[in-house]
Amino acid sequence: MMKQYSHYMAQDSTQTLREGLEEYYALNPHLTSPDTQPPEFAKVLRAHDAGHVIYGCDTGMYDELKILPLFWWTSECTFQRFREMRNTPAVDVMYDDMIREKGVLWLYGAVIRVLPLLIPALVSIWFKTRKRHNRVPFLEFEPLLDRSLLEIRQEFDLLPLFK
């Protein structure tokens, strides 16, 4: 099956974040809809999905593993804040769903397969994001919904992070 082209993934996309999210959900109907979840979980899930669009990431294992450090190093969802959220059932549901859908062996096998490609990219991203002060909103991203992805990426200096 051929992967569909995602406009939001283009570095210079002029789609709004709202349009990018609509496309993201249309291209990924297998994802848990935030609208079907309790409010606390829906907020985290929606923020995570908005991050996929803002950072131009798909839902493959490579980008799923890349997006967490992107959040930690460039957004208000720092590693410390992630650890605090990690203690809520909302984050556990995401991992449990993935394990239930694919299985533990698949999950760890997929992680092991992408790590050799991902580690050099993460080192490069880390060097590009050190000492960052202008952080992308995470849970409170709604003010960005009607702005173009290109404008958001320029404001938060995300363009150098794209391949």
The residue among 81, 56, 80 whose CA lies nearest residue 66 is 56
Q: What is the pTM of this model?
A: 0.86
Confidence class for position 143, pLDDT limits 50, 70, 90: very high
5 part of a folded domain? no
9 part of a folded domain? no
90 part of a folded domain? yes
**What per-residue confidence (pLDDT) applies to 97?**
67
What are the residues whose beta carbons fall under 8 Å from the beta carbon of 128, sequence distance 6 or more? 160, 161
153 part of a folded domain? yes
Rounded to whole angstroms, the Cα distance separating 26 from 68 reads: 23
3 part of a folded domain? no
Number of domains in the chain: 1
Tens of pLDDT, residue by residue over 95-109, are 666 677 777 787 788
**What per-residue confidence (pLDDT) applies to 3?**
54
Rounded to whole angstroms, the Cα distance separating 57 from 156 reads: 16
87 part of a folded domain? yes
Residue 136 has pLDDT above 80, yes or no: yes
Tens of pLDDT, residue by residue over 13-38, are 999 999 999 999 999 888 888 898 88
18 part of a folded domain? yes
Q: Which domain holds residue 32?
A: 14-161
**What per-residue confidence (pLDDT) applies to 1?**
42
Please give the C-alpha separations between residue 73 and each of 12, 100, 156, in angstroms, as whole numbers. 21, 29, 12
8 part of a folded domain? no
